[in-house]
Amino acid sequence: MNAIDLLKSQHHEVSKLFSQIEKAPTEEKTELFEEIADKLAVHAAIEEHHFYPAVKAKRTEDILLESLEEHLGIKRVIADLLEVDAEDETFDAKVKVLKEQVEHHVEEEESDLFPKVKKLFDKEQLEAIGQEMSAEQAELEEKGDPRQAVPAETGHPASL
């Protein structure tokens, strides 16, 4: 799967999970949040380690720097949520903020960054980046609980 298709499929998966958590009874929310947090942790990692460095160019650098700042904000909300019980009165509000930040990030990537990247890279290059990203995704998922790395990543944005 090419890099952009992989990222879009992850965007779609997380969007479905946000829809589920909004309708879920309290006793199911913790498990759904953990799944969202794991998927977002993996997504951010493979973007930061592979996709962003590979597509860094004059026409994309400003978007990438903003994306890294957005990742930082998302990680900070995830870190907060990892400390909050689903029964806490602030849990749903924090999940809503997380969802809004993720939706904003996805919209910018899909409407601005991805079209530029498609113009800068050919099919084979995007496939190669996608393979690197898929390999790290599998490794992170195999270790289990990728969300647990997030609190250590909230001090500053990742570098390009």
Q: How far apart are CA 98 and CA 83, in angstroms?
A: 14
Structure tokens at 42: 């993996």
Q: Where are the alpha helices (DSSP H) in 24-122?
A: 26-46, 52-55, 61-82, 91-108, 114-120
pLDDT of residue 98: 98
pLDDT of residue 60: 87
pLDDT in tens, 36-46: 999 999 999 99
Provide CATH code, domain 3-153. Answer: 1.20.120.520
**Where along the chain do its domains lie?**
3-153
pLDDT in tens, 41-60: 999 999 999 999 999 877 78
- Reported as type and span, the H/E element at residue 3 is helix 3-23
Structure tokens at 91: 């849990």
pLDDT at position 157 over 80? yes
